[in-house]
Structures are given as C-alpha cells and as structure tokens.
Structure 1
Amino acid sequence: MTEIPRGTLEEQTFYEQVGGEQTFRRLVHLFYRGVAEDPLLRPMYPEEDLGPAEERLALFLMQYWGGPRTYSDGRGHPRLRMRHAPFTVDRAAHDAWLRHMRTAVDELGLSPEHERTLWNYLTYAAASMVNSEG
C-alpha cells in the first residue's frame, strides 16, 4: 500500500487549500470596498474607518475555515447573531451584503469546488443574520 505523503490536499484545511491569510484578507478587503459605498450597509458600521470591521471579519473567516484562532483569542466566542442584534438586518440588508460578497468572491478566482463551498457558507451565514421583516 502506498503511503500518502504528509501535506497533501486531504490533510489541508480549506483555509490552506484556498491560499490562507492572503486569500481571506483579499476577500474581506474587496467586500468592504463595496460596503463603503453602500447607503444601506455603511450606516451599520459606526466606526469612521471600516478597518476594524474588516479586521474582525477577516480574522473570523480565517478561524472558521481552519486558520489561526486569533479571532477567538481576542474576542471570545463569535456569537454572531448576538453581535449583529443591535442592527436591523432585513432582507434588503441581506441582499446588499450578499451582492458585495458575491463581487468579492468572484474576484478571488477560486476553483469551482472551493468557490461553491465558500459561497454556500456565506449565503447560510447571511440568512442566519436576518433579524427583522422587510
């Protein structure tokens, strides 16, 4: 029986398979480029600079997909619904968030399988944040 060498795709996390930190930072940066100009989403970010929000999302996604645990080390359990509760997240906000994320994902040029896996999670996550009608 042939032994599979260490470090093969089967052993890599999704985070590693798609390019690690650089890929997730690029995804989130591209996403926030759209958010910065969005009249519906931009007011949900009270900080003048979107940098802190960009950093939080990048760290969260990296950790979720198998990267470093920096997010939880600094902020504790993600508790995403609780953290988003102060904001009205309706269908329009959901759709706007996904529109900007779709643009960002498309610019990454991932393999079809990786793109599908990532997009399935993002659409699930967006739906789970909706907390009001409209």
Structure 2
Amino acid sequence: MTGCDNHGFDYPYMKKYLTLLEDGMSSGEPELTKAHARLQAQISSRATPRFELFMGCLGNRIAVCNKAVEENGDYKMVAHISIEGNVIWCIAPGDAPAKDVIKIRHVADMERNRYEVWLSTLSEMERYA
C-alpha cells in the first residue's frame, strides 16, 4: 500500500491536485472539480461522528448510549431516563442527531406515562409513604 493513506485513494496524486485546485492555480476542469467534491464529501462523512442509539435498563433508570463510540471500553453515555420520565443529558442535546433526540424524548414520555399509571394504582397512603 505504498503511496496510499488510510482513506483508500492515492494520496500524493490527490494532495497535489487538491492543493492546486484550492489555491486557484489549477484550471478547475470539470473532472477535477468533481473529484475534489467527491473527496471532500468522503472526508467530511468520515469526520462526522457516527451515532447508533442504544438503550438498556440499568437498575432503576434507562441508559441511553451511542454504540458507534467507545469510551473506556464502554459505549459512550448519551443520557439517562429516570423511572419518572426525566431525561438527564450526558452530552449536549445538539450533539445527537435530531431523530435520535426525538426517540429519547419519546421513550421518556412512555416512561412518564407508565410511572403515572403505576402511581395512580397506589392508595394515597402508599403514594406518600
């Protein structure tokens, strides 16, 4: 694999032509411009962190993790959902994709509903004991 980096394309060739294109020293032929756009997309897609949502029940709360990232041998913790349905974020909610934030909030709402149903079955004395 001489002359290749870990991105899988011929690095010296690409580095030379990408640098020329970025510096405005190349004619910017359509093929070269398309190659540059493809490579930039590949690089940015590899640079953005992957996010694979994983939820599991640990004790009395639900642990929400990112399976795509390991931290100290465990999945990276994203949030905790209490039995009352409260979300305690371990990361900024903006760091997770919107569709996953919606899933987390949906599970929290389901937990809150389940908790309220369970609480309503208790007598008043049991509720506050």
TM-score, normalised to structure 2's length? 0.30
> More helix by proportion, 1 or 2?
1
Structure with greater contact order relative to length (CA < 8 Å, sep ≥ 6): 1
TM-score (norm 1): 0.29
More strand by share: 2
Give the structure with higher Rg (CA).
2
